[in-house]
Structure 1
Amino acid sequence: MNIKTIIIDDNLSDINSLTMNLDAYSNDSSVNFDYVSFSDIQYEELLETNGLLYILDIDMPSINGFELAEKIKRNNPRAIIIFCSQHANLVFESLRLETSFFIRKSNLIDDFNHAIEKCITILNDKYTEYSYNSNGLLKTIYYYDIEYFEVNLNDLYIHLSNGEKLKERKTMKKVISDINNDNFIQTHYSFYINASHIESINENAVVLKSKVELPITKSRYSLAKKEFLQYLARR
């Protein structure tokens, strides 16, 4: 996974510490951070650079980090924000922004790894892309937009969270091989469901947040429930 990362801080030493931690994390994982850094006086230029992950100082001379985060989210709604500050008392204020995390500069290494793990979980949920064939054209959709896959013989139906339904020729075995993601759960030989859209699982059905109910077989119930609980534990 390649993550375009933007760092903004008025302290060059702190920027260097963050980039060293990004490099160290990359060396121990399959994640690569394609990062660039800006000083606080360059924030207008920053807004023209679309990244997936933003690491922001809060207390900067030219602009407050919270204000900057709101500007970034308006310009780039899918952005994930990590605040990095020596002011630990600001952690609760940082949580008011969706998909944001907090790193204490005084506890950089431990907080950094925890925040990055959470960010990667969100990226896997929302922004990994699934490729499908539409009338001979290869198109992509984000995993997060997929509620579930339904297979009937060799016809695959991709049910999206907006109510749209796509179709291509593919077997369930091929779908599972292509997805290869722990956030999808097979509850029935014909259904492969995105756990982020599941509200509950019982012995008779899987209930989605959209209130759609899908079948679950007795043979798959225990494993499906276990996988759903594991998904919730990763949140």
Structure 2
Amino acid sequence: MIPVKAIAADDEPGVLLLLKSILCELDDIQLVGTAKNAADTLRLVKDRNPDLALLDIELPDMKGIKLAEKIQEMKPDLYIIFITAHKEYSLEAYRVYAYDYILKPIDKERVKNTIHRIQKTLGASERLLTKLASRLQTTKLAINLGYERVFLNLNDICYLEKHGRQTILHCVNGNHTARDTLRNFEQQLGTGFFRSHKSYIINIEQIERVVNLPGSSYYEVKFKKSNGKALLTRNRVHALMNLLES
């Protein structure tokens, strides 16, 4: 199960103790704070950044429905479960997209089952985000340029060149100089890129030709969509040819 941070708000100390006991019986649930009023609850949402809030519908300083609306303004993706002795607010609770509305006396198993469902939903969302991030990582490269963060298509990068403590990215539509090392970029790039020299990483798909330099221990790599040239060491030639032929 995915780890979930929870808060609980109720003006009855006994209820808070019971909720704490229930949450302690669940795997990957952390109770990060309790409150006896709405003001303290809002501070917990701000300071602890929970995933789930267990709320009483009647708090001394604010109705639970109003509190839920304020919470949603602060953290729209936070799950809310109302736990209350009042039946009459159930329709309003679903209007503010409460995940469940549990009446007192508290049914422990229902609380557990509801939280399990929330964990599964959060887990599915996490897996989707991971998948999308992985897909983005394989097609884009993020670089910091001063106060900007620029996302480059990997296919548009012809080669990367070490330049002092910086790296020049030679691209189809121009060059970018980033304050990052070639080694760090190498760790981010996929299998379509090849370390041809201590100062160069080349995009295999952009290679047009490899030229032997007479009297030199290097080859010169030329590209389809760039006038620039990268160096290839002789001890890396066979590794590159194997990649090109595979």
Letter in 2 for 1:98: Y
Instruction: Please show how residues 58-69 of structure 1 align to structure 2 within 5 Å.
Output: 58-69=57-68
Bigger radius of gyration, 1 or 2? 2
CA distance in 2: counterparts of 1:119 and 1:54, whole angstroms: 11
Decide whether the 8 Å contact of 1:104 with 1:111 is kept in 2: no
TM-superposed deviation, 1:44: 4.1
User: Is 1:46 aligned to residue 44 of structure 2?
Assistant: yes
Letter in 2 for 1:33: Q
Instruction: Please show how residues 1-235 of structure 1 align to structure 2 within 5 Å.
Output: 1-26=2-27, 31-40=28-37, 41-49=39-47, 50-128=49-127, 129-130=129-130, 131-132=133-134, 133-134=137-138
TM-superposed deviation, 1:107: 3.7
Q: Which runs of 5+ in 1 are unaligned?
A: 138-167, 171-235
TM-superposed deviation, 1:38: 1.5
Decide whether the 8 Å contact of 1:55 with 1:84 is kept in 2: yes
Decide whether the 8 Å contact of 2:23 with 2:31 is kept in 1: no
CA distance in 2: counterparts of 1:169 and 1:105, whole angstroms: 55
CA distance in 2: counterparts of 1:16 and 1:69, whole angstroms: 22
Decide whether the 8 Å contact of 1:3 with 1:53 is kept in 2: yes
The RMSD of aligned alpha carbons is 2.6
TM-superposed deviation, 1:120: 1.7
TM-superposed deviation, 1:76: 0.4
CA distance in 2: counterparts of 1:110 and 1:75, whole angstroms: 30
**What percent of counterpart residues are identical?**
22
Letter in 1 for 2:34: S
Decide whether the 8 Å contact of 2:36 with 2:59 is kept in 1: no
TM-superposed deviation, 1:103: 1.7
Decide whether the 8 Å contact of 2:33 with 2:44 is kept in 1: no
CA distance in 2: counterparts of 1:44 and 1:24, whole angstroms: 26
TM-superposed deviation, 1:63: 1.0
Deviation readout 1:29-63 (Å, 9 max, x if unpaired): xx332431112052342342321111111111111
CA distance change for structure 1 residues 83 and 65 in 2, over 3 Å: closer, same or farther? Answer: same
Deviation readout 1:47-99 (Å, 9 max, x if unpaired): 42321111111111111111111101111011010111111333232111225
CA distance change for structure 1 residues 107 and 45 in 2, over 3 Å: closer, same or farther? Answer: closer
Letter in 1 for 2:81: I
Q: Which runs of 5+ in 2 are unaligned?
A: 143-188, 192-246
What TM-score comes out, normalization by structure 2 length?
Answer: 0.49
What TM-score comes out, normalization by structure 1 length?
Answer: 0.51
Farther-moved stretch of structure 1 (91-100 vs 65-74): 91-100
In the alignment of these two chains, the number of paired residues is 137
TM-superposed deviation, 1:126: 2.5
CA distance in 2: counterparts of 1:8 and 1:101, whole angstroms: 15
Letter in 1 for 2:115: I
CA distance in 1: counterparts of 2:43 and 2:101, whole angstroms: 24
Letter in 2 for 1:110: E
Letter in 1 for 2:19: L
CA distance in 2: counterparts of 1:56 and 1:15, whole angstroms: 10
CA distance change for structure 1 residues 91 and 127 in 2, over 3 Å: closer, same or farther? Answer: farther
